[in-house]
Amino acid sequence: MAVESCSPCLPDNLEVAVRKVALVTGGARGIGSAIARNLACDHDIAVTWLTTEPTSLPESALPTRTDLTDKDSATKIVSEVMARFGRLDLIVNNAGLVDASPKEAFDA
């Protein structure tokens, strides 16, 4: 999986003694994907997805198919992050479900 270059506001020689860990829910596409890619510049990241598998994450990322409407699944992903990285510093709650309807179903 390829990762895009980091934000120009971060110097190329940035050295972080201990990388913080971020969990981005709904991080496979759209805004969540952009957030995950940006955080990956200076964080270890975990990303949840339900319908679309992420394609542009660093090899060190933890992508996990998770149904966050299930409380046990939400608890499990936090446990997986802790087991993999030993810490969790930041959660970006971006996941959401969209029930798409044809535009004709909306009133004008």
Which has more confidence, 26 or 6? 26
Tell me, what's the pLDDT at 9? 54
* Rg value, the chain, Cα: 16
Locus of tokens 């608890």: 75
What domains, with CATH codes, occur in the chain? Answer: 20-95 (3.40.50.720)
Tell me, what's the pLDDT at 2? 46
Q: pLDDT per residue over 68-102, tens digit each? A: 999 999 999 999 999 999 999 999 999 987 776 67
Residue 66 in this model has a pLDDT that exceeds 80: yes
Between the CA of residue 20 and those of 30, 62, 99, 106, 107, what are the distances in Å? Answer: 23, 14, 34, 44, 47
How far is the C-alpha of 28 from the C-alpha of 39, rounded, in Å?
13
**The token pair that represents 25 in the structure block:** 């829910």
Q: pLDDT per residue over 9-64, tens digit each? A: 555 555 656 789 999 999 888 899 999 999 999 999 999 999 888 888 888 999 99
Tell me, what's the pLDDT at 1? 43
Residues 6+ apart with CB under 8 A from 107: none
Which has more confidence, 69 or 107? 69
